Amino acid sequence: MTTKKATRKPFQGVLNILRFNWDFYLMAAIGLVVAIVLASVIAALAILPDWLNVFVLLGCLGLVYFVIGSLVVSYWVYDASPLYKWKWLESFLEKTPKQALNIHAGFDESSESLVRLYPDIALEIADFYDPEQHTEKSIERARAAYPPPPTVQSVQPTQLPYSDHSFDAIFLLFAAHEIRNPEERIQFFHELKRILKTSGELVLVEHLRDIANVLAFGPGAWHFYPLNEWQQLAEEVGFQIAIQKKATPFVITMKLTPT
């Protein structure tokens, strides 16, 4: 497998967040302006009691906090931290992968880096994006901006088209949470175990539904799953958690190996 070797640009991560979710930030900005104007008018006319004016002000400040905070955290995770340089994989994996599979959910930001990191890797790229199930506008915009090359194989999570024990490494980077159905997610991980060599390693990277992500993204954190769900899933399918580390306060990295 070959892929274009491009370097990641400064602020690329946070700019992509804005680009793919512009409607959310636009609506938040409009809502903030409307709320501030209404609050100012109401306060000037003394229509509401002081405590309710304070409540409205706190609501406006909360909206500002989540809009700015989500962008600051996105910059930290996707641009400023070492996470997206992927160099940490060299010590994270016990062996240099030769036959590997990178699975994403419609938007691939890692395959080029993996090829740069491991020049001799035979890397397959699979995409389980289904426009009928994954209806988020952000993914549609990401795919329009970065169309997948023809070498990327479209797959069904519950029926991966690979032979048993085909890969010594599988990368699942910010993708698994897009499988919203719990039973489908379990079947997906059974498939991952089937195609992974008995000595293979699976790298799982995810945001979590925890205090840090709730403080950063507000209700958006419910799109992620708690750590114990990933731990229970690994145990149920027959994976051992060989490594579990926080890459940042907002992202967990896990290495799973077959038991």
Q: Where are the domains of the chain?
A: 12-80, 83-258
pLDDT at 4 over 70: no
| Geometric angle at alpha carbon 82, from 18 and 154, rounded to 5° | 60
Contacts of 97 (CB under 8 A, 6+ apart): 118, 121, 167, 168, 169, 201
Distance, CA of 120 to CA of 23 (rounded, Å): 41
- pLDDT for 132-169, tens place per residue? 776 678 888 888 888 888 889 999 999 999 999 999 99
Report the alpha-carbon distance of residue 254 to residue 257 in Å, rounded.
10
Per the prediction, the chain carries an average pLDDT of 89
**pLDDT of amino acid 190:** 98
pLDDT greater at residue 26 or residue 238: 238
Does the pLDDT value for residue 229 go beyond 60?
yes
Over residues 200-225, mean pLDDT: 95
* Cα 107 to chain centroid, rounded: 10
Domain 83-258, second-level architecture: 3-Layer(aba) Sandwich (3.40)
- Average confidence (pLDDT) over 49-54: 71
> pLDDT of 66-99, one tens digit each?
788 889 999 999 999 999 999 999 999 999 999 9
